[in-house]
Structure 1
Amino acid sequence: MPAAPSALQGSFDVAVIGAGVIGCAIARRFTLEGARVAVIEKAPDILDGASKGNSAILHTGFDAPPGALETACIAEGYAEYLEIHDKLGLPLIRAGALVVAWTEEEEALLPALIQQARDNGVADIAPLSAAETRALEPGLGAGVRAGFRVPREYLIDPWSAPHAYLLQALANGATLLRGCEVTGGGFDGAMWRLETTRGPLSAGIVINAAGLYGDRIDARLIGHSDFTIRPRKGQFIVYDKPAAALATHILLPVPSKITKGIVVCRTAFGNLIVGPTAEDQDDRETAALVPETLAALRARGEEILPALAGQDVTAIYAGLRPASEFKDYQIRAHAGLNYVTVGAIRSTGLSSALGTARHVHRLCAEFGHQRTPLGAPVWPQVTGISEYARRDWQCPGNGGIVCHCERVTRREIEAALSGPLAAQSLAGLKRRTRVTMGRCQGFYCSAALAALTKGRLTQPMAEAEDDR
């Protein structure tokens, strides 16, 4: 790989710190509004923090707190995703959510939750009896008391959306700096000078979208933070493809004050997931899997859908959400500093990202930020990896299948290793193509992948046994 430059030339209108889903969406919004944007990411690839693990649901925000900033961002983000997904080649898989009450206490909460949904503008719902709930999902376990259906909740791809947002930003002039950590900086009243591990960078506005490290970046750049990140771990179980036939809807519990609870739903990749848990911890780097917790999670999944007891598990994984001591998002413009904090974006970040980006752009108006929006922006399309759309293995000239579990072709892998957003790690390649995500978890295709990626990743795979 070519050596990283020791200094970054020129200046930018906006520097976005963090290339998770929120940072990618913000970069896209400001680029489309005519700004010269730099995206700064300390990891070798994008989506390497909180954004790498989520439930991949496009939420209406029916259960979000009425009047909260989070709720407004979800509503605006949801609407924009529906508007642009076809242009960017993004999936939108109709499912609908079914909120199920299993106890008398949960049933008693349903009327207030339905009213909350209506207050949030999600009015196309109605209460369901136990029999009506079970008629919609015959595989539900014993003990269903009541429920209601939210028809406009969708399944989406957890990674293609942020890839598409950033790809559009790059296609329209933005700059991505990976392996570039912000170590310090200062504002002289007109411009920021950021110190990074790849040299200095100048920008008129700095937007902190650093996720799990958002409070630390605030402290590093403006001397304080108004919140403290306390990572919330979520563990998931991924069932093999046949399990996806067991549930049509996104099965949701009645949420608590702390968590939305355990979700059971299909994925865009043709599997079925159960999770997440909600476990607060201090470690910002490691989301350790806990066998006892996973066993309890699996048991709960089998209570919800008893037929899961006969299904194989493909994978288990865990992610961290950047929770804080506050329930709402922590987004604020810092007067006199040309600096915006976008912090504590928890599990709804995928749904709210486009709306959050629009909100942040409006905040920057008080800094005098005004550019001429692009008249005819480029609309690149991401490669479709959803199981519910035509895949490359079904198309001629694909070079053959390399990952047989997930049916990923050589052409898809080569495409993911090239271009302005080329994968820089095996994890990044997985998020672009689905390689190593299947039954064998890379056991059979790793040697071929090591050969294909040799010399092309900043985090190389182990060398293949030979070069034949």
Structure 2
Amino acid sequence: MEKHDVVVVGGGVVGCTILHELTKHGYRSILCEKNPELVSEASSGNSGITTTGYDVDEPIELQLLQKARKLNEETYQKYNIPYRKSGAHLVAWTQDELDRLQSVIDKAHEVGVHDLYQLSKEKLRQREPHLSHDALGAVFIPGEMPVDSWLMPITLAHDALLRGAKILRNCKITNGYRTSNDDWILMTTTGPIRTAVVINCAGLYGDNVENINQSSPFQIKPRKGQYVVFERCADEVLNTAIFPFPTKITRGVLLFPSVYGHIVAGPTAEEQDSRSDRSTNPSTIDELTDYARKVLPALKHRKVIATYAGLRPGTNSKDYHIISNTERSWITVGGIRSTGVSASLAIAQHVREELLNKFHLKPSNQEERSFDASRQRVKPSFRVLPSGHVEMNGYKYKITHPLSRLGLLAKHKL
């Protein structure tokens, strides 16, 4: 049986990014995704905004977001991932919120985000002339960036494929055991797989996969977020994302331009037991629509063209669960909630550093390790198909994220 350096369990944004990082540095890697398509679960229903972590308190999440700030834009540029450097305004709608704007800036400075600044009501109106007159002021956060959060992990996974990684779809991990020489044999619906290290990135099912290794230290508590998507009109009525003051539970409902120019309102934050129910509720959709039109009255005569819901893999802890178990040859990457897109590149680097420094696992693909950046390599390029797929170098990937599907298919028709 062929032995791999690592098996990555889960083909969401974090799993795809880790696969790319490890393959790029010479690890013989294989990704197992239980669904027919990559990016089919939590990662197919997010907001698609890269955040700086200006308001994050959790230490592991914050550390990785800090590390990711530089990585994100560099990667988007390198791989031609669509993104907008639009920034965001955290808006004060009451006098109490207006009085707290300086505390937002102070908090951001504490976590290393120094380019925020406060705007008066008048300055805010100049920047966002269509915003409700009820806005009293804002803090501008330049580093918040909408991105195509489906195309990013797909592009990185495909690049890993070109570099020699294996990607198995319809491959569900059902069980596993350690061998006498401490390898893992994972039992899957496509047959057994042998590996030196397992990396659990199973998202909404992360605790179930974790139980193969040990009693899971966390329990997934799905949190649904519903969204409303308005027609493409951002160039006319909205320049930046509009953030509310966050609560202890959620960042609140955002109003933001997608990378393709649609205006989106969401997400809600609804605890539920189901890990698969992504239905939308008509009354909730009406509330989101009303909220969006209240914040941005120019939307009054703009059409709602789509709704969707995503599930975030919340746990009993607000922080990430990133655990390196060297004795069991297992790395856990769980509880990556709403900042998965933002932190994924840094998470991937962290996992690679753990493999090298704690597990002392050296990459076995010496050819890939010695890859010279000047050497010619086929770069991922894509074309959008009317069927709702993207084709890259002969491989087809179904567009699973509603915002990506709307935007890419609109570009295809143009």
TM-score, normalisation: structure 2: 0.91
Which range moves more in the overlay, 359-368 or 208-217? Answer: 359-368
Among 21, 24, 38, the residue aligned to 2:16: 24
- 1:215 counterpart (185, 191, 207): 207
Candidates 381, 397, 419, aligned match of 2:394: 419
> What is the rounded CA distance, in whole Å, between the counterparts of 1:432 and 1:99 in structure 2?
25
Alignment-derived partner of residue 389 in structure 1: none
| 1:359 aligned onto 2:350 | yes
Indicate the residue corresponding to 2:93 in structure 1.
102
**2:372 maps to 1:381:** no
Note if contact 2:219-2:315 (Cα within 8 Å) is conserved in structure 1. Answer: yes
Alpha-carbon displacement from aligned partner over 1:168-222 (angstroms, at most 9, x marks no partner): 1111110000000000001235200000001100000000000000011101x11
Structure 1 match to 2:271: 280
- Residue 167 in 1 paired to residue 158 in 2? yes
Identity of aligned residues (%): 34
In structure 1, the residue matched to 2:113 is 122
SS in 2 for 1:149: strand
Q: Is this contact kept in 2: 1:413–1:429, CA < 8 A?
A: no
Asked which structure has the greater RCO (Cα within 8 Å, sep 6+), the reply is 2
User: What's the TM-score once normalised by structure 1's chain length?
Assistant: 0.81
Please say if 1:228 is aligned against 2:219: yes
For 2:116, the aligned partner's letter is I
Query: SS of the residue aligned with 1:169?
Result: helix
Residue 176 of structure 2 aligns with an amino acid whose one-letter code is G
Distance 1:52 1:414 in 2: 14
| Structure-2 residue corresponding to 1:452 | none
Secondary structure of residue in 1 paired with 2:314: coil
Is 2:333 aligned against 1:337?
A: no
Whole-Å Cα distance in 1 between the matches of residues 156 and 385 of structure 2? 24
Corresponding position: 1:177 with 2:176: no
Amino acid at match of 2:194: S
Deviations 1:121-167 (A, max 9, x none): 11111222222222221111132122110122222112111011111
CA distance in 2, matches of 1:268, 1:136: 19
**Equivalence map 1:60-459=2 (5 Å):** 60-65=52-57, 68-188=59-179, 189-219=181-211, 221-242=212-233, 244-364=235-355, 365-371=357-363, 373-376=369-372, 378=377, 380-383=379-382, 416=391, 419-420=394-395, 422-423=396-397, 427-428=399-400, 434=406
- Look up the SS of the partner of 1:94 in the other structure: coil
Aligned partners of 2:89 and 2:188: how far apart in 1? Answer: 47
Distance 1:181 1:77 in 2: 30
Instruction: Report the CA distance between 1:382 and its aligned residue.
Output: 3.8
Where in structure 1 are there 5+ consecutive unaligned residues? 1-8, 384-391, 393-407, 439-444, 446-468
Please give the alpha-carbon distance, in whole angstroms, between the structure 1 residues aligned to 2:241 and 2:401. 28
Contact kept, 8 Å, 2:42 with 2:312, in 1: the verdict is yes
Shift of 1:413: 6.8
> Which consecutive unaligned segments of at least 5 residues does structure 2 have?
none
Q: Which amino acid aligns with 1:72?
A: Q
Distance 1:416 1:435, change over 3 A: farther
Amino acid at match of 2:204: L
Counterpart residue identity of residue 327, structure 1: K
Give the Cα–Cα distance (whole angstroms) in 2 for the partners of residues 432 and 310 of structure 1: 24
Asked if the contact 1:163/1:382 (under 8 Å) is kept, the reply is no
Q: Check whether the contact 1:416–1:433 (CA below 8 A) recurs between aligned residues.
A: no
Contact conserved, 1:124 with 1:151, CA < 8 A, in 2?
yes
State the alpha-carbon separation in 2 of the partners of residues 55 and 61 from structure 1: 15
Once residues 64 and 296 of structure 1 are traced to their aligned partners in structure 2, the CA distance between those partners, rounded to angstroms, is: 27
Query: What is the CA-CA distance between 1:409 and the residue it aligns to?
Result: 5.6
Q: Kindly indicate whether the alpha-carbon contact (under 8 Å) linking 1:233 and 1:281 is maintained by their aligned counterparts in 2.
A: yes
Q: Distance in 2 between matches of 1:83 and 1:436?
A: 22
Cross-structure match for 1:459: none
Distance apart, 1:244 and its partner CA? 4.8
Structure 1 vs Structure 2 CA RMSD: 2.3
Mapped to 2, the partners of 1:345 and 1:429 lie a distance apart of: 18
Match of 1:239, SS state, is: strand
Name 1:456's counterpart in structure 2.
none
Structure 2 contact 218–316 (Cα < 8 Å) conserved: yes
Q: Is the 8 A contact 1:42 1:178 kept in 2?
A: yes
Q: Distance in 2 between matches of 1:204 and 1:290?
A: 45
- What is the aligned length? 402
